[in-house]
Amino acid sequence: MSNEIELIKDPGLPAHVHRRADTDPKAAARAERQVATLFILSALGTVVLVYSYLFVDEDIFFFIPVLGNTNAHQLGLGMGMAIALFCIGAGLIHWAKTLMPDEEVIAQRHEFKSEDEDREDFVKTVKAGAAAAGLGRRPLIKRTLGAALGLSAISPVLLLGDLGPLPGNQLKTTSWKKGTRLVTDPGDRPLRPQDLEVGAVAQTLPEIAPGEHRSLNDIGKDAVLLIRLRPEEFNLDAERLSWTYEGIIAFSKICSHMGCAVALYEQQTKHLLCPCHQSTFDVTRAAKVIFGPSARPLPQLPITIDAEGYLVAQAPFNEPVGPSFWERST
Amino acid sequence: MTARERIAGNVAGYVDDRTGAAKWMKKNLTKVFPDHWSFLLGEICLYSFVILLLSGTFLTFWYDPSMREVVYEGSYEPLQGLEMSAAYASTLDISFEVRGGLLMRQIHHWAALIFMVGIVVHLMRVYFTGAFRKPRETNWVIGVGLLTLGIVEGFLGYSLPDDLLSGTGIRIAEAIIQALPVVGSYLAFFTFGGAFPGVAFIPRIYTVHILLLPGIFLALITVHLMLVWYQKHTQFPGPGRTEKNVVGYPLMPVYMAKAGGFFFIVFGVTAFLGAVASINPIWLYGPYTPGQVSAGSQPDWYMGWLDGLVRMAPPIETVTFGYTISWNILIPGLILPGIMFTALALYPFIESWATGDKREHHLLDRPRNAPTRTAIGAMALTFTLVCLLNGGNDIIATTFDLTINQMMWFSRIGVIVLPPLAYVITKRLCLSLQRADRDLVLHGRETGRLVRMPNGEFTEIHEPISAEKAWLLTSHEQLAPLELPDLDGGGVRRPGAIKNKIRNRISRSMATAVPKATQSERKELEGHH
Ligand code: HEM
Ligand code: FES
């Protein structure tokens, strides 16, 4: 015996097995009827759709287990369309499977690589073409063309410059100024300290003149959360403590991570939680991050009261609000 | 000749007189397509794209891509009198005023989800069977492009209704742009036409969502399909199937009927989902305002893994010379995804470099016969899955009564530990499956029937497997590892020595296999009996 290892051989394509419909005319007729039935079902689906469109009122709701309260009009349209389309597909496939030839055929592949001769000819043609254009012989044309093409790319970039204004210091400033009143959102009512019980939270915005409109851009920077604790619960340095008023502390509501609204306050733990990525801030420690991906505390708004006893800002925020950006330096 | 045949002949003649297409058509109408359920995955993507074009065009007739503030006066009572953007108001109108509008919105959204699932599963099929190997690398790269653009397109579409949920997503996208070093704030202002949210964003992404990206999709899909056509489909190994042939059904009529039928099936199923399964009920979220957020904010699943990655990032930010770099945003939001997608796109080239295999391949691999590739795939999937789970960490925590803290640490550790574990387990699993194949070929199938040997011992009767099955289990080739020299003829270290060493190691790992059974071994075993 030789040492040549003998591999298992390819037995070749198995013999074709006929389907019933190939040999039995009755089975073929039955398959034909099945296909036709599917097409008729499809037509019925379209009837359901047309009927729902014309005759089913849009405000009829009824209860279906699992789905809950369902609008009859939409359901009729959708189910009609689904049945119409699905049954066409099912009919076509059933037709292909039962009645069309199911004998597998073999086609040959060819390697994609061309003959060596053709490849060489191709390279020659390209070279000849390039030589005919004479780029190599005329460096002046080559260089000026390259420069012109390169420069022409400036125009679209330049024209796109008007997509937006430059940021300026918009990312660093808000509407809060010394003496701006804090008003409720919604409602626009100014707040006195006594309006806020210990443990309560209020959502506020800077007061605007009557008739003026607050844009979403402003809300996105100005939103402030007021929280009232007992003053002794704070764990702040003297400066930070001076920014609070009778246990009321104000933070930017815009998350220092990626700018979501920090909407959840847990009264027992005195934690603020951002629902987007769960950054958690400790209110008693100047909104220090105690959990999650945010790397900075929430900016604090120094507050006090004005002559009429309403809560106002002592000064703008102590640092830029919202997510970080390159030019931010604190 | 019947009248119908005469008409058909006339039409064909008319076309051929003007184009000479008859020869090409004759050849291509009988083109052979191999049949396998997994080859339908690509078709699902194609058909759901067509459904997206149709349903999306319907939506454009009523959708108003404007952030102009309007007061809602439509029929949905809870929101009446509220200020909102025209975009949100028109999406409410599509849902409540336009007949069939809600159905179309839901069909569009379901089709988008099916499109994305289709792409991901199709990609997995191509990956695990090695269909990306030469000459199909171009189509692999196009596929990765379609996946990436699909994620972007889906995110933009999801943002169009301008509801509270999607607005929150835009806010996060803005923060990622803003976090880019040096150019971040400028790019953010250019994208949004000023400060966030501004009034320019929705109209801008509308153009991108309905014109720019669909155009690119159409172009890429066309090239993708032309390549499939020209290079002919791959096929699974089996009796009679070789590298040099294609076994299957002719385009006309069988494949046409099946593919056409399948389009209607996909459309029908999507319409069914649109009819009964509510998706993105934007009226429950309310209009977007930056000062509010809906609890349990979740993106669609194809963005969820990114969100999970962002959630588990450690809180690191550095300030140098007065300039801030937010590693907590850049790493999970840009750097890691960038590396992942680049590695995905380059995989075919990396593998062929590592194995030194530059030949054409038209027969697919059974995943077990490429254990290293399969294990790398399992590793990548595990990574993505942990990220995806962490994207729903709040929901999982409340459902299973865990704390967010526990979930977070599970993910932070899991994302590092579980993928390598998946690699090792998968590789072993593949090798033991190979061993099982080998045993099956050599010793046959266990029949469950016991016989008593003369010496009193019981043994189970084994039945030899069919010639077809034996061929299927042994027809794959087993590549020898590369043995690149690190010393040249004179015994001097060559400049590429280290590279060769690395390449040898990877290729050895790629070539790990249980030797497949041969006819010689079978004969030898028979001799023993
Ligand atoms: C791969 C392609 C596409 C994907 C993944 C996709 C995805 C989405 C998604 C997820 C939505 C949100 C739907 C909702 O819940 O309201 C959407 C909205 C929309 N899409 Fe597409 N889409 C695609 C292609 C198209 C095309 C081709 C068009 C138009 C020709 C289009 C037009 C629209 C319009 C007008 C809306 C907003 C309508 C509304 O909010 O009700 N989409 N898209
Ligand atoms: S935006 Fe608040 S945690 Fe990410």
pLDDT at B486 over 70: no
Chain B closest-CA separation from residue A109 CA (Å):
5
CA A284 to centroid of ligand 2, rounded, Å? 20
Residues on chain B touching A108 (C-beta within 8 angstroms): 244-246
Inter-chain touch A260–B293, beta carbons under 8 Å: yes
Ligand 2, atom 1: closest residue by C-alpha? A258
Q: Which residue of A has its CA nearest to B254?
A: A96
Alpha carbon distances (Å) from B284 to A52, B102, B247, B281, B350: 26, 14, 53, 6, 48
| Size (chain B), residues | 529
Q: CB–CB of A289 and B275 under 8 A?
A: no
Q: List the beta strands (DSSP E) in chain A.
A: 61-64, 68-71, 105-108, 182-184, 201-206, 224-228, 248-252, 264-266, 271-273, 280-282, 288-291, 303-305, 311-313
Could you please state the CATH topology (level 3) that the domain comprising B40-288 is classified under. Cytochrome Bc1 Complex; Chain C (1.20.810)
Given ligand 1 and candidates B49, B52, B270, which is best to mutate, with the most ligand atoms within 8 Å of its CB? B52
**C-alpha distances in angstroms, B86 versus B67, B105, B160?**
6, 17, 11
Decide: A323 in ligand 2 pocket, CB within 6 A.
no
Q: Is the pLDDT of residue A46 over 60?
A: yes
Q: What is the pLDDT of residue A133?
A: 86
Highest mean pLDDT among A45-49, B181-185, B229-233, B514-518: A45-49
Distance from CA of A132 to the nearest CA of B (A): 32
Mean of pLDDT values over B341-366: 94
**Measured between beta carbons, which residues in chain B are less than 8 angstroms from residue A90?**
261, 264-265
Q: Would you place residue B323 in the very low, low, confident or very high pLDDT band (cuts 50, 70, 90)?
A: very high
Return the pLDDT at A1.
Answer: 42
**A79-131 confidence digits (pLDDT tens):** 999 999 999 999 999 999 999 988 888 999 988 889 999 999 999 999 999 88
- Return the SS3 of B297: coil
Cα distance from N-terminal residue to C-terminal residue, chain B: 67
Binning pLDDT at 50, 70 and 90, where does residue A135 land? confident
Residues of B with Cβ-Cβ distance to A163 under 8 angstroms: 190-191, 193
Task: Give the per-residue pLDDT at B296.
Answer: 65
Structure-model confidence comparison of residues A46 and B506, the more confident one: A46
- Partners of B84 in the beta sheet? B70
Name which of A105, A164, A257 is nearest B32 (Cβ-Cβ).
A105
Is B414 in a helix, a strand, or coil? helix
Ligand 2 contact, A279 CB (< 6 A): yes
pLDDT value of position B492: 64
Per-residue pLDDT for A20 more than 90? no
Convert B219-235 into a string of H (helix), E (strand) and C (coil): HHHHHHHHHHHHHCCCE
Report yes or no: B86 and B98 within 8 Å, Cβ to Cβ. Answer: no
- Long-range contact set of residues A45-48: C-beta below 8 Å, sequence gap at least 24: A45/A79, A45/A80, A45/A81, A45/A82, A45/A83, A45/A84, A45/A85, A45/A86, A45/A87, A46/A80, A46/A84, A47/A80, A48/A76, A48/A79, A48/A80, A48/A83
Instruction: Using a pLDDT cut of 90, give the percent of chain B over it.
Output: 73
- For ligand 2, whether the C-beta of A287 sits within 6 Å is no
B79 to A154, A292, B94, B370, B431: CA distances (angstroms): 48, 34, 15, 57, 61
Higher per-residue pLDDT: B164 or A64:
B164
Q: CB–CB of A89 and B261 under 8 A?
A: yes
User: What's the whole-number mean pLDDT along residues B288-304?
Assistant: 85
CB A20 near ligand 2, within 6 Å = no
- The pLDDT of B414-435, averaged and rounded, is 96
Q: How much of chain B, in percent, has pLDDT values that exceed 70?
A: 97
Window from A58-72, A184-198, B135-149, B250-264 with minimum mean pLDDT: A58-72
H/E stretch holding B26: helix B22-29
Element spanning B448, H or E: strand B445-452
Distance in angstroms (rounded) separating the CA atoms of residues B177 and B317: 16
| Res B491: pLDDT | 62
Of A78, A109, A326, the CB nearest to B181: A326
Domain ranges of chain B: 40-288, 441-528
Q: State the average pLDDT over residues B491-511.
A: 81
pTM: 0.93
SS3 of B100, please? coil
Mean pLDDT confidence for B48-73 = 97
B421: left (phi over 0), alpha (psi -120 to 50) or beta: alpha
Q: Whose CA is nearest to atom 38 of ligand 1?
A: B59
Ligand 2 pocket, mutate which of A225, A257, A291, A298 (most atoms under 8 A from CB) = A257
The residue of B520, B522, B523 whose CB has the most chain A CBs within 10 angstroms, and thus the best one to mutate to test that interface, is B520
A255 CB under 6 A from ligand 2? yes
Min Cα separation B22/chain A (Å): 19
- pLDDT for B493 beyond 70: no
Q: Is A263 in the pocket of ligand 2 (CB under 6 A)?
A: no
pLDDT tens readout for residues B193-252 = 999 999 999 999 999 999 999 999 999 999 999 999 999 999 999 999 999 999 999 888
At A230, phi and psi to the nearest 5? -80, 135
Where is average pLDDT lowest: A294-303, B110-119, B453-462? B453-462
Average pLDDT across chain B, whole number: 92
The reply to whether residue A278 touches residue B311, judged by beta carbons under 8 angstroms, is yes
A74:B102 CB<8 A: yes
Q: Which amino acids bring their CB within 6 angstroms of ligand 1?
A: B 49, 52-53, 56-57, 59-60, 63, 91, 94, 105, 108-109, 112, 115, 150, 153-154, 157-158, 160-161, 209-210, 214, 217, 280
Atom of ligand 2 nearest to the CA of A293: 3
